[in-house]
Amino acid sequence: MAHSARKMLRKPTKSAWLLAIFVQIVTFFQLGACYTCETPDDWLSGNIGIQLAARGQLEVFHQTWPNGVVRYKLHSSLTLDDTSEVLKAFDEFHKKTCIQFKPWQERDTDFVSIEVDDNVCGFANVCKIGGWQVAKFGKDCRNMKTMVHQLAHTLCLGHEHQRLDRDQFLNYSSCSSNPRKVESLKRPTSLYNYASQMHSKCGSCDRGMPNEGKIHSSSTKNVICGPDASPGLSVLDVDNINYLYNCQGCQRHRWVPAMSLSQEDFSKMPTFGYETRNKKPIFACRAQHQAEIVSGMYDHARQSCNISYYDKPYEIQGPVEVLTIPGGVVGDDCCVYKLVNKKNVLEQENFLIYVGNIISQQFWNWTSHVAYAHGGGLKSSRKGLA
């Protein structure tokens, strides 16, 4: 009988919810044919000086938004339908991260103007640059997904397909040119995120094909990327934002690269009371296999993650990430991480802990999660629309 790791939040009213490393599926609108982000490459590194110079300013401001609060103005160019899509995008961040988009007030000097611009598909300033800045969508891209992408730029996320190591994961060998590589702000995860809302679609020279060196050649054609793979923020998008903004409470869990585990991190690695047959504690890890992010048991001596993929065992030796819960399983704010029987999981989307997205056309909008089993096992479990 499998169990899922879950967390429980107890409000001051003494009411409680059980929360799990499990899956909740929500259907969103499919993106149209147009999906091009016109945010300049030089901005994607979070270089505020370049962005300010573009509007004639020299002063450099703070990069991230204090306390995760972003003030916004809805521009008069938005229709009611546009506003509805923007609000859906806000809700995607509100449900999955500690970020709060709040209406601009007269005393606010720093804010994002949400606008329609039919000269672009999507465009945004990257990070908090001080004063007014923009997040725009236009053409056939006036939808929730495009606005999620642009607002993620606002929060300091760059493009996944332009990260420095992307040639290990995307194949441009038959192309005459390919997108420039850009060094983004520090990210907690080294796992490549094909499902990122910050990734372009795959399938052409300007977008890249998944690298057959990382994915079995027979599977490459079934792999989908970016907005095709995820209805909103991907699992790793959420992890990156929660890391950048040090989100707490029921978003305080962190997946830490095994190569950078500190002594302090070891004290934060939960076992939920599970051991191997040799009485060694079982720590949850996640790694990439066939482009999918899956969970397994961490072997610290080898810095590897032992996974089961379609009932076959694999040892992944990098990159590997280990689950940590700063503050312990019982937080100061009464947010409790715990195990519950899988069949008793309450599927409340706001309180779920995800491991990774499954980026296959066969399993669109599926995610994986951690499951513990009697007998000392730990495996990846899946759920989706089917």
Query: Where do we find the tokens 């720093």?
Result: 110
Helix (H) or strand (E) holding 147: helix 144-154
Residue 62 is labelled as binding a ligand: no
Q: Which of 50, 77, 65 is nearest to 111 (CA)?
A: 65
Helix (H) or strand (E) holding 93: helix 80-96
Residue 149 is labelled as binding a ligand: yes
Distance CA 201, CA 121 (A): 14
Distance CA 276, CA 269 (A): 16
Q: Are 94 and 88 in contact (CB under 8 A)?
A: no
Residue 153 is labelled as binding a ligand: yes
Amino acid symbol at 155: L
Task: Please give the angle made by the CA atoms of 193, 261 and 352, to the nearest 5 degrees.
Answer: 50
DSSP-derived pairing of the beta strands 366-373 and 377-383: antiparallel
Packed helices 80-96 and 144-154: angle between N→C axes, nearest 10 degrees? 60
Q: What is the DSSP letter of 42?
A: G
Q: Are 135 and 124 in contact (CB under 8 A)?
A: yes
Distance CA 143, CA 127 (A): 22
Q: What is the DSSP letter of 109?
A: -
Helix (H) or strand (E) holding 145: helix 144-154
Distance CA 325, CA 21 (A): 13
Distance CA 94, CA 78 (A): 21
Distance CA 365, CA 233 (A): 11
Within 155-294, residue ranges assigned H as helices are 217-220, 235-244, 263-266
Q: Binding site: which residues?
A: 149, 153, 159
Q: Binding site for Zn(2+): which residues?
A: 149, 153, 159
